[in-house]
Structure formats: C-alpha cells, structure tokens
Amino acid sequence: MVTYHIQHDTKYDYHSSVTQSRQILRLSPRILPWQVPESHVIDIDPYPDRIDFLVDCFGNPLQYFTLMSDHNRLSVRAHSVVNLSHRRLPDADNTPAWEEVVSHLSYVPGKTFLPYDFEATQFRFESNHIRLLPDIAHWARQVITPGMPVLAAVQALQTRIFNEFAFDPQATTISTPVAEVFQKRRGVCQDFAHFMISCLRAIGLAARYVSGYLLTHPPAGQPRLIGADASHAWVSVYIPGHGWIDSDPTNNVFPNLEHITLCWGRDFSDVSPIRGMMYGSSAHDLQTSVTVMPQSEMPR
C-alpha cells in the first residue's frame, strides 16, 4: 500500500464584484476496492452561506455550495490523504473476445441484463464530448482485429494512441471535438481519453471517462515542485466477469499505484472539478495548481 497527500487549489479573481455564486465541486476521491481515502477536507473562501453534500447519478461524491454576498475572489482548496493498494489485472487471454462483449451488452427485445451489465450499457452511446464516427471506428479496427481478447484490444488501442498522438497543451481547448483531435493527432490527456472512448464506443464497447490525479516524477536529483502537477484523465472499459478496467492512453499504462481516482462519467462534462454559475462579473483570472506528494516525501 502507498499513501499520497493531494492538494488541489483553484483561485478565481473577478474583474468586478460577483453578487451571487452557485458551484458544484467534484474534488472528493472515491472509495474503491484499491483506494481508501484516509482524510479529505475542502476549504472555501469566502465561506459559503450554504453547502450540501450529495452523490450524483454515477455515485460520485460532490459538494454544492452557494455564496449570496458580494465577492471579488473565490478560493477552493481540496486536501486529501489517500491510500492505494495494488490492482490485479486479469490475464488478457482469459478475457472474452471483444465481439462477445459487444454482443453481451447489446439490446435485444426481451433480454434481461444483470445489474452491472445494465449499468454499463449507458456508456456505449454518444455524449456531449463523444461522437461515434465511422472514420474513428475504422481506425480502431486497424488494431482491434476479429477474435482479439478484449483486454488485448484495449492495450493495442492505448498503445497506438500513445505512439501516434503527441502531447501538446497548445493544440486543443476544453471543447475541442474528437474529430479535430483525430485530425491533428495532438492534444492533452482529456483529448486522448475522449478519443479512446470514441474508438471503443464506436465498435460497441462500454467505456467511461475517469478524472483524477497522477503521481509525476521530477528529474533525477531534483526536488518535487509544489503545485507543479495537474488533474489527469484516463479511460475505463467494462469487461463482463471482470468489471471495469482502467487504461491510460496518455502514458500507455494500465493504472495501478500512481493514479488517484476522483470520479467518472460519460465524458469530461460529467466530472468537471468545479462547475457552476454566478451573477455579476463574467471576466476573471483563474489559477489552478495540484500537488501529489507521496507520504515518504512529506516534511517531518
């Protein structure tokens, strides 16, 4: 087991006063078989007039808060201590062929789904940032061949994305469509996750978007910089009999002891860390910073 301290800071400086603000936070790590939050605190300044603790339709914990007085800034700090244990990845040859999974999840009149299978079917369709395009399906089938075990298919796809797409923070924005990402072959982790999900759903598999954090490694001999990390995104694929298996196309790895899970949904629009509305100034400056620190490196 490994323990991480995560600090996620978000600061808004408004160009003129905001008279009212209502925001939803998805900054709380999930409780999972391999992930146990030890502590979790969110500090909001100015302090909200009201805060509610809720769970969304995907089981993600969230906080909904309201500020009713004038304010020129808003600061949100989430601090979590999370324990991770090793995930057991099934042997690829012991997973069913990907076509069998597609058939297993496909709707047929009168068919009865097991609860977990039924829950997974909602992640087979288009959503706000995911389009099921023939060109993308064709590209995916160039490496996902007939009869291939589904986990081997996932690995082949994540490897091809890793090899053919370049990490470029200047190439895309939060709203860049997957067709453009496909054309440019450039983007960031959010883009690669959206594109991989589009590939998987386009051939009939169930895939969801996962938001969280990744432990990064400073150059040899250099100290870990505070606030130098960022939120991360990856993919989870449903395999009947094995559950959800995570895949990180940005780094070409199956997440294990260095990925901390916050929440999941159909795409980024379901899991935005902070989302809401305000009355007053729409112009603002935004600063975000994330630090993921192993327990062993914490100051004593």
What CATH number corresponds to the domain at position 109? 3.10.620.30
pTM over 0.85: yes
Same domain, 229 and 185: yes
Query: Is residue 98 a contact partner of residue 153, using CB atoms and an 8 Å limit?
Result: yes
Same domain, 212 and 146: yes
Same domain, 103 and 179: yes
Amino acid at 100: E
Same domain, 29 and 155: no
Q: How confident is the model at residue 230 (pLDDT cuts 50, 70, 90)?
A: confident
Same domain, 37 and 170: no
What pLDDT, in 10s, does the model give residues 128-162? 999 999 999 999 999 999 999 999 999 999 999 99
Average model confidence (pLDDT) across the chain: 94
The token pair that represents 175 in the structure block: 């709203």
pLDDT of residue 225: 60
CATH of the domain at 58: 2.60.40.2250
Same domain, 41 and 158: no
Nearest to 244 by CA among 123, 134, 146, 85: 123
Same domain, 21 and 136: no
pLDDT at position 228 over 70: no
Same domain, 98 and 213: yes
- The range of the structural domain enclosing residue 292 comes to 2-85+272-297
Query: Is residue 218 a contact partner of residue 154, using CB atoms and an 8 Å limit?
Result: no
Same domain, 96 and 77: no
Nearest to 269 by CA among 160, 178, 175: 175
Mean of pLDDT values over 81-91:
96
Same domain, 106 and 247: yes
What pLDDT, in 10s, does the model give residues 186-200? 999 999 999 999 999
pLDDT of residue 296: 84
The token pair that represents 194 in the structure block: 């959206």
Same domain, 38 and 135: no
Q: How confident is the model at residue 226 (pLDDT cuts 50, 70, 90)?
A: low
Mean of pLDDT values over 285-291:
92
In angstroms, the CA 169 to CA 200 distance is 24
Per the listing, tokens 């780094």 go with: 251
pLDDT of residue 229: 80
The domain total for the chain is: 2
